Amino acid sequence: MNLMEILQSQLSDDVLGQLSQQIGAEKAQTATAANDIFATLLGGMASNANSVNGLQSLASALDRDHDGSILDDLVGMVGNMSQSADNAAPKALNGAGILGHILGDRQEVAAQQISQNSGLNINQIMKLMPILAPIVMGVLGRAKNSSGGGGGLDLGGLANILLGSVQNAQSSGYGDLIGSVLGGVLGGNQQQAAQPQGGGLFGQILGGLFGKK
């Protein structure tokens, strides 16, 4: 299962229209920025899953707050997010909170790089990121619940689907973005983090995950 492809499939013309209207941008630029944000957030989640505790925390958040139901009406969801403050929104829609957990203090760094790639300004990217963050969690939550033989994915399955999707995103041209997030979190350099092979960064993550069992 390729989460990046599933995320990209959520960007219907109507959804892009809503997003573009909210940030004041053309649809093509919005789509470019949205795909960059999706890849960056997947990378951030992979970096957070470099320990059993981190992965368990992600799985618990998915089970508790992100069943994927927001995907049933994304146009409505995107519209509603502009009308309510994050602190008043349910956790499934608390984009700022989700970003804090995934990227921490690297949000502005990620936004700067996405801005350079898409042509949108930093303020537009910073408006877009909290709108898209719940979609990423919704897609991952639905994938977790719908796979694994009826009982949902276990921790190993969740790690594999997440890391495999990040590797696919890297090989599709998002390696620099993902590398900047992962390399910073794990203390590696961007070049090492951008490598799609099973060793290097992903070896560190998987080793940390399964070596503690």
Q: What is the 3-state secondary structure (H, E, C) of 70-86?
A: HHHHHHHHHHHHCCCCH
The H-or-E segment that residue 127 falls in is helix 122-146
How far, in Å, CA of 27 to CA of 16, rounded? 6
| Cβ atoms of residues 185 and 106 within 8 Å | yes
Q: Which residue has the tokens 């949108």?
A: 120
Q: Can you read off the two tokens belonging to residue 51? A: 């320990």
Q: Which residue has the tokens 């940030």?
A: 23
How far, in Å, CA of 72 to CA of 125, rounded? 24
Q: Which residue has the tokens 């940390």?
A: 208
pLDDT at position 120 is 97
pLDDT in tens, 181-190: 666 444 433 3
For residue 186, the one-letter residue type is L
Question: In terms of pTM, does the model score above 0.85?
Answer: no
pLDDT at position 186 is 41
Q: Classify residue 87 by its DSSP letter.
A: G
Q: Can you read off the two tokens belonging to residue 131? A: 């709108």
Q: Which residues of the chain have pLDDT under 50?
A: 184-202, 205-206, 208-213
Q: How many CB atoms are closer than 10 A to CB 192? A: 15
pLDDT in tens, 155-165: 888 888 888 89
How far, in Å, CA of 100 to CA of 172, rounded? 26
pLDDT at position 194 is 37
Q: Which residue has the tokens 């992903």?
A: 202
Separation in Å, CA 75 to CA 10, 47, 72, 188: 10, 30, 9, 39
Q: Can you read off the two tokens belonging to residue 104? A: 């921490």
